[in-house]
Amino acid sequence: MVDSRFFTNHGPFTVAALAAVTGTSVPNSTDGERLIADVAPLDRATASDISFFDNVKYVEQFSNSSAGACFVRAKYAAQAPAGMVLLLTEDPYRSYALVAQQFYPTTKPATGISPNASIAATATLGDGAAVATGAVIGERVTIGARSSIGANAVIADGVTIGDDCIIGPLSSISHSLIGNRVIIHRGVHIGQDGFGFAMGRDGHVKVPQLGRVVIGDDVEIGSGTTIDRGTGPDTQIGDGTKIDNLVQIGHNVQLGKRVVLVAFVGISGSTRIGDGAVIGGQAGVAGHLKIGAGVRIAAQSGVMTDIPAGASYGGAPAIPVLEWHRQTVAIARLTKPKRGSDE
Amino acid sequence: MVDSRFFTNHGPFTVAALAAVTGTSVPNSTDGERLIADVAPLDRATASDISFFDNVKYVEQFSNSSAGACFVRAKYAAQAPAGMVLLLTEDPYRSYALVAQQFYPTTKPATGISPNASIAATATLGDGAAVATGAVIGERVTIGARSSIGANAVIADGVTIGDDCIIGPLSSISHSLIGNRVIIHRGVHIGQDGFGFAMGRDGHVKVPQLGRVVIGDDVEIGSGTTIDRGTGPDTQIGDGTKIDNLVQIGHNVQLGKRVVLVAFVGISGSTRIGDGAVIGGQAGVAGHLKIGAGVRIAAQSGVMTDIPAGASYGGAPAIPVLEWHRQTVAIARLTKPKRGSDE
Amino acid sequence: MVDSRFFTNHGPFTVAALAAVTGTSVPNSTDGERLIADVAPLDRATASDISFFDNVKYVEQFSNSSAGACFVRAKYAAQAPAGMVLLLTEDPYRSYALVAQQFYPTTKPATGISPNASIAATATLGDGAAVATGAVIGERVTIGARSSIGANAVIADGVTIGDDCIIGPLSSISHSLIGNRVIIHRGVHIGQDGFGFAMGRDGHVKVPQLGRVVIGDDVEIGSGTTIDRGTGPDTQIGDGTKIDNLVQIGHNVQLGKRVVLVAFVGISGSTRIGDGAVIGGQAGVAGHLKIGAGVRIAAQSGVMTDIPAGASYGGAPAIPVLEWHRQTVAIARLTKPKRGSDE
């Protein structure tokens, strides 16, 4: 179904192989040997496709689907059409994602070392590392095994990049230590000196920024995002954190593990964000705050205070989300005629 | 009047030639033969310049202008100074734009094929296509006639670009089909995989994004903007749509024709925006919404619901703009002393 | 203390030399001859480090610090530990910044002219100017003495750059005149034509943008920022102005001297911002406004009106900051039970 100009299907795979990737069980060995050619949504899947049923809203699509195999929660198994191989899991979407990765693994922007790349003699490249045309690799840079640097990207002196990383075209990285399996999209700028000035009436004096950016494993960073290096302490991005496009991370910010930041989020200097926190698009967090683990912040919020672990906040200035909704309702009521009003 | 280091005047043109471009009539053949050397605003124009009068606020400037020719609505003709050639039109600014384009056509960032570009052997370039220094053109890319690719831009495998397009320096495009007469400014990133994860406590699993970005004709996309490809369906940008700098378009978004998005607008995944809609700067639109044709959304709005065609919305969460203004007034009144108050 | 892979310490310096840089006095000549090896915060400094005490909150750290020398206000001198050389100043942080610059001067992204740069024959480079790999320098470009152009940056025809400037990798500049000691970070795009269309139902007609971007001395512009050129008048950035990452400046905007714009600020077309104004992150300013000198605008504000010099504004639409805080309190009160309420 995909456009073959852009995507290469690495299948087919047997149901057994796909079940193994996801840790699910195959009902029987006949089913396990069945060949699956592609992934597809329930309504478009054919007998050679694997699909998933995750949202009860689509139960009718599930019951009428022609998919050859399907990830589904046990409680819905009875509603499956005849002949569909059921792979039972409590997280069908996650299982789908894992098998879709088998069919369509993430494409590296480069293979091999381009003769048109500019690589310093003191740089070290791991086995199978790739550097595309026009990329510039500085002195003493270390790039791990199987990592790939995109066209016209610029990796400055001393940067360390782990194994199996993908650095997109036209990105720049300096003053940074990067873990394994990190994906950095295009036009990302990491490691520039942050916005640090001793401000004054007669001019703002630049304060040297002497820290680094330290990025863990399995991090993904969207196009156009900027991450400033620390002032002396480091800016830190924890394992498994996912950052969308056009996000700004200030100096000394510490993002925990598996944090999610949506587009246009701005995190001001020295703020710490706990593990698993999720911050909606266009929200801003002021500097020197502590946002607890698992916190959820609504889109466009303006966070001016610490937030305890597990809380949900919204609004500007941000407050607990239920209170914020109550305020929205109360404001709407202000302009409605009401009995007993003194106006 | 312009700085000749940056702009080349392609004039002079006769009044008749300029009138023809705009579909206006010349009063008589003597006026038609008059030579016009440049465009200029009313207050700076000389007898060899053409100008426009669009806003009644400037009627005095109009009456005192030395412009040799001027686009003007018929109802203001009587207020013109003696000797000015009047070109009558109901849209003077549009006519001005068209003649200004004659004097100063959009500059292509490249002419000819640079020997320092990197062009795959399987790429196809139309007649008069140009590729600047450092640009990278991937396998099986198709670039139409007279299209121009800027310095250090990166066009990935399989991308199709139509005729008379301009791709700015330092932009990247992948997984995309682009129409004719499209202008993509600098540092634009189109076609990266969107922010798609099966989120979970133990880590977020990347979901392969198997769609494309399909861009119509006469689209313009500002510097620093990012447009993610679809998940399986495509991300679509309709004919004549204009996108400002630093905008983010999520996966599967469908923008209609002649949509206008101002800087920092974020459109979340799978939302559809109708023809002719205009969205102000820093506004955000949540995912999976349907915004009707001709809708106007105020700057900084947070759109959380569908909006019917032709409506004007503002605020966060966004509501009909008149209601939003009433709320702003009611909130202001809260802090003013009032008679009969119970506080 | 810094990571020597990324930073080179240019010290040691004598206390006398550091005092001279900051205009402070050394208590006596013995102290002046003391050698200082590095900068450090109060709590980590050793006898060979210089530090600063700026915030009374840290007075205990000051009294217990092992720093060999310290910038401090005269009124706190009595609380200094024995043996510390005191350099008295009313602005300790500014003095610290100046000495930190001695130890760690801003690193230029290039030294020398790379054979892999592409430099037009008609370009002029000053003494000691540097151009990195992959950079593209257009026709008739002028680059001043000791200025440095980063890797894969693109400087278009006719651009003038002053002395001692740093242009980051992957930035593009066109239609611009740039002063001295200007720092432009990475992925910055300056001089593209602004968002100018004669809008209409049948299509939006592009209006040629015939002005320039004129940037003063000592300006700093953050990564990912975009600055559009003027429509005929110029877009202007005054001396000493500091712009953070991912900011958007529309056509014809005039920023005064020493203005500070934080990340994601958007300034719409033709607005003028007075000297020393400070605008918080994610704030937006509508077009054609006049914001006075010294104005302070809170983060996320939406400015829809002129603001007089010296005022502090916040909120959306932005109002005087005290009134805005009163409204926030009044809104919070709406959802609290109150005596005498009619609800």
Average pLDDT over residues C53-68: 95
Distance from CA of B175 to the nearest CA of A (A): 6
Of B6, B170, B264, the CB nearest to C158: B6
In this prediction the ipTM stands at 0.95
User: How confident is the model over C174-184, as pLDDT tens digits?
Assistant: 999 999 999 99
| Catalytic annotation present for B185 | no
Residue C100: its chain A contacts at CB < 8 A?
207-208, 210
Helix (H, G, I), strand (E, B) or coil at C101: helix
In total, the C-beta contacts within 8 angstroms joining chain A to chain C are 172
Choose the closest CB to B264 out of A260, A264, A343: A264
Residue-level pLDDT at B342: 47
Are the C-beta atoms of residues B191 and B227 closer than 8 Å to each other? yes
A269 CB neighbours in chain C (<8 A) are: none
Rounded to a whole number of angstroms, the CA Rg of chain C reads 25
- B316 with A300: Cβ contact below 8 A: yes
Q: Cβ B263–C250 below 8 Å, yes or no? A: yes
CATH superfamily of C108-170: Hexapeptide repeat proteins (2.160.10.10)
In chain B, which residues have their Cβ closer than 8 Å to the Cβ of A343? 338
A97, A134, A264 ranked by CB distance to B152: nearest? A134
User: Is-contact C313 C322, C-beta < 8 A?
Assistant: no
Residues of chain A found within 8 Å of residue C3, distances taken between Cβ atoms: 158, 175, 212
DSSP-derived 3-state class of residue C17: helix
Closest chain A C-alpha to C4 CA, distance in angstroms: 9
Chain B hits for A104, Cβ within 8 Å:
208, 210
Residues 6+ apart with CB under 8 A from B60: none
pLDDT band of A338, cuts 50, 70, 90:
low
Cα(C146)–Cα(C130) distance, rounded to whole angstroms? 7
CA angle at C197 for the pair B5 and B54, rounded to the nearest 5°: 100
Nearest to B263 by CA among A191, A284, A222, C224: C224
Decide if domain B201-343 falls under CATH 2.160.10.10. yes
The whole-angstrom separation of Cα C256 and Cα C253 is 10
- What pLDDT does C308 receive? 98
Residue B178's pLDDT is 98
**For domain A13-103, which CATH number applies: 3.40.1390.10, 3.20.10.10, 3.30.2010.10, 3.40.50.1370?**
3.40.1390.10
Looking at beta carbons, which residues of chain B come within 8 Å of A97?
A: 197-198, 205-208
Domain boundaries of chain B, sorted by first residue: 13-103, 201-343
> Nearest by CB to C245, which of A248, A327, A331?
A248
The secondary structure of residue A317, as a DSSP letter, is T
Neighbours of A2 (CB within 10 A): 18
CA dist C7 to A44, A253, A292, C4, C102, Å?
56, 20, 33, 5, 13
DSSP C113-160: B-TTSEE-TT-EE-TT-EE-TT-EE-TT-EE-TT-EE-TT-EE-TT-E
Instruction: Pick the closest to residue A139 from B29, B119, C109 (CA basis).
Output: C109
Query: B154 vs chain C: nearest CA distance in angstroms?
Result: 12
**Searching chain C, which residue's CA lies closest to the CA of residue A328?**
C331
Q: A195 to chain C nearest CA, in Å?
A: 6
Do the chains contact at B151 and C174, CB–CB below 8 Å? no
Q: What own/partner pairs with CB < 8 Å and gap ≥ 24 does A78-86 have?
A: A83/A47, A85/A15, A85/A26, A85/A27, A85/A31, A85/A34, A86/A27
Q: Which residues contact A315 (CB under 8 A, 6 or more apart)?
A: A298, A301, A302, A324, A327
CA nearest to C186 within chain A:
A189
Going residue by residue through chain B, which has 343 residues, state the pLDDT in tens, using 9 for 90 and above.
689 999 999 999 999 999 999 999 998 888 999 999 999 999 999 999 999 999 898 999 999 999 999 999 999 999 999 999 999 999 999 999 999 999 999 887 778 999 999 999 999 999 999 999 999 999 999 999 999 999 999 999 999 999 999 999 999 999 999 999 999 999 999 999 988 999 888 899 999 999 999 999 999 999 999 999 999 899 999 999 999 999 999 999 999 999 999 999 999 999 999 999 999 999 999 999 999 999 999 999 999 999 999 999 999 999 999 999 999 999 999 988 655 544 4
Instruction: Please indicate whether, in this complex, the C-beta atoms of C300 and A286 are within 8 angstroms of each other.
Output: no
C171-343 domain in CATH 3.40.50.620? no
How confident is residue A124, by pLDDT bands cut at 50, 70 and 90? very high
